[in-house]
């Protein structure tokens, strides 16, 4: 399918951020976006790159009422050699299609989605920041647009990709964050939609996250919904714990998002010959390891945050300091290695980086 391109006129171009040290996350969007439409009788049609603008949908659009929405998060980088690359885009669009299946939404053609994303990025290439720690965040999204109020899968959808320059996700940057172990509210139950990247999972996380934030925490660590016993994820990141010399992360199990950065971290830890376990890890085991001094590190992984070290875990009113409240050695090594591969400073043995220019 041919992708049509309408470029923004001079009066539609927005000023680019002057200060790359202060980009934050998720507030700035470039001059264009990629869109396509779906109708069940026609399939996907009209793939196009257009000026970034408001979109118009009916108040009865089903996404608004019943939450048929999915999204992805991936990044583009200015390599040291001046080229532009994407990190594991096929894995993101594979996951997008898994989310689509779970939410009864149509899958996209991955090659077309990657081509449209790449054309959008190349058109807005001047927006890709160049300073260390910055990148271009890419947000593919699909919403149900059919105007209808009966509860069933919609027959019409809009797919769009918006992009924008970003810096660190957390205000802490690479400084360790404090996490609050949530033992009442739950994010996702087995058999639910926890492993789909769909808006409702994030909406479900807000109340507990706000309560935790008011107490001075950056993130909530979610436990399994059935027993409140096993650690799952923090909502914007997967979690890893280093107990003695073993790196441990929870299995996916249907309620945990299959993070691409999680998968990259697992691969690297294996490449380095470290002891690694993907297994159910109870919060009691984490806390007793922290008390005995055997919890060497804890960190989160995610596209937005990359690697985020955890300096404090609070459970049932007790604070447990991790790695002396500093970034641990493995967290730092993973951050350095993943970002070096992403920026093209190091060899990419797993073929994660796709050059688009």
Comparison of 198 and 236: residue with beta carbon closer to ligand COI: 236
Question: What binding mask, one character per residue, do residues 102-131 give for ligand COI by CB under 6 A, x or -?
Answer: ------------------------------
Binding segment toward ligand COI, per CB under 6 A, in 220-228, 285-293, 300-308, 316-324: 300-308
* Shortest separation between residue 3's beta carbon and ligand COI, angstroms: 24
Comparison of 290 and 353: residue with beta carbon closer to ligand COI: 353
Structure tokens at 329: 């050695």
Binding segment toward ligand COI, per CB under 6 A, in 178-186, 204-212, 224-232, 297-305: 297-305
Comparison of 185 and 202: residue with beta carbon closer to ligand COI: 202
- C-beta separation of 117 from 356 below 8 A: no
Map residue 227 onto helix, strand or coil.
coil
Q: What is the DSSP letter of 31?
A: S
Counted residue by residue, the chain has a size of 357
Which residues are registered as beta bridge partners of 320? 313
- C-beta separation of 138 from 74 below 8 A: yes
- C-beta separation of 238 from 262 below 8 A: yes
Comparison of 68 and 308: residue with beta carbon closer to ligand COI: 308
Q: Map the footprint of ligand COI across residues 30-59, applying CB under 6 A.
A: none
Comparison of 88 and 296: residue with beta carbon closer to ligand COI: 88
* Shortest separation between residue 297's beta carbon and ligand COI, angstroms: 20
* Closest of 126, 142, 178, 174 to residue 17, by C-alpha: 126
Helix and strand tally (H, E) in the chain? 7, 17
* Shortest separation between residue 255's beta carbon and ligand COI, angstroms: 16
* Shortest separation between residue 77's beta carbon and ligand COI, angstroms: 14
Comparison of 178 and 262: residue with beta carbon closer to ligand COI: 262
**Of the candidates 145, 205, 236, 308, which one interacts with ligand COI according to CB under 6 A?**
236
Q: Map the footprint of ligand COI across residues 56-75, applying CB under 6 A.
A: 73
Rg (CA), the chain: 21
Closest-by-Cβ residue to ligand COI is 73
Q: Map the footprint of ligand COI across residues 301-340, applying CB under 6 A.
A: 302-304
Instruction: Tell me how far CA of residue 93 lies from CA of 77, 85, 96, 115, 182, in angstroms.
Output: 18, 16, 5, 12, 31
Element (H, E) at 34: strand 32-39
CA distance 38 to 54: 19
* Shortest separation between residue 236's beta carbon and ligand COI, angstroms: 4
Comparison of 97 and 303: residue with beta carbon closer to ligand COI: 303
Half-sphere exposure of 24 (CA within 13 A, CB side): 5
Binding site for ligand COI (CB under 6 A): 73, 236, 302-304
């Amino acid at each position: 399918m041919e992708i049509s391109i309408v470029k923004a006129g001079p009066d539609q171009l927005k000023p680019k951020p002057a200060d790359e040290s202060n980009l934050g996350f998720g507030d700035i969007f470039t001059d264009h976006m990629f869109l396509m439409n779906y109708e069940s009788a026609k399939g996907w049609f009209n793939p196009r790159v257009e000026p970034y603008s408001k979109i118009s949908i009916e108040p009865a659009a089903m996404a608004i009422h019943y939450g048929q929405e999915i999204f992805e998060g991936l990044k583009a980088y200015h390599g040291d050699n001046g080229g532009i690359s994407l990190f594991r885009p096929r894995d993101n669009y594979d996951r997008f299609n898994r989310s689509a299946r779970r939410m009864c939404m149509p899958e996209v053609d991955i090659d077309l989605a990657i081509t449209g994303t790449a054309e959008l990025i190349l058109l807005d290439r001047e927006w890709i920041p160049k300073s260390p720690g910055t990148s271009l965040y890419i947000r593919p999204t699909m919403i149900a647009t059919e105007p209808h109020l009966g509860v069933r899968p919609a027959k019409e959808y809009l797919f769009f990709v918006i992009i924008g320059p970003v810096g660190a996700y957390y205000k802490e940057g690479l400084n360790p964050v404090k996490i609050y172990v949530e033992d009442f509210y739950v994010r996702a139950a087995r058999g639910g939609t926890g492993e789909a990247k769909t808006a409702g999972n994030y909406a479900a996380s807000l109340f507990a996250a706000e309560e935790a934030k008011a107490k001075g925490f950056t993130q909530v660590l979610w436990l399994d919904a059935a027993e409140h016993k096993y650690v799952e994820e923090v909502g914007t990141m997967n979690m890893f714990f280093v107990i003695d010399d073993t790196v441990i992360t929870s299995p996916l199990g249907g309620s945990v998002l299959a993070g691409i950065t999680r998968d990259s971290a697992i691969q690297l830890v294996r490449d380095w010959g470290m002891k690694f376990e993907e297994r159910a890890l109870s919060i009691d085991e984490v806390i007793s390891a922290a008390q005995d001094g055997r919890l060497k590190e804890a960190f989160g992984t995610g596209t937005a945050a990359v690697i985020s070290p955890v300096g404090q875990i609070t459970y049932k009113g007790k604070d447990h300091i991790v790695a002396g409240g500093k970034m641990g050695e493995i967290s730092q090594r993973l951050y350095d290695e993943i970002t070096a591969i992403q920026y093209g400073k190091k060899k990419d043995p797993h073929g994660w980086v796709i050059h688009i220019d």
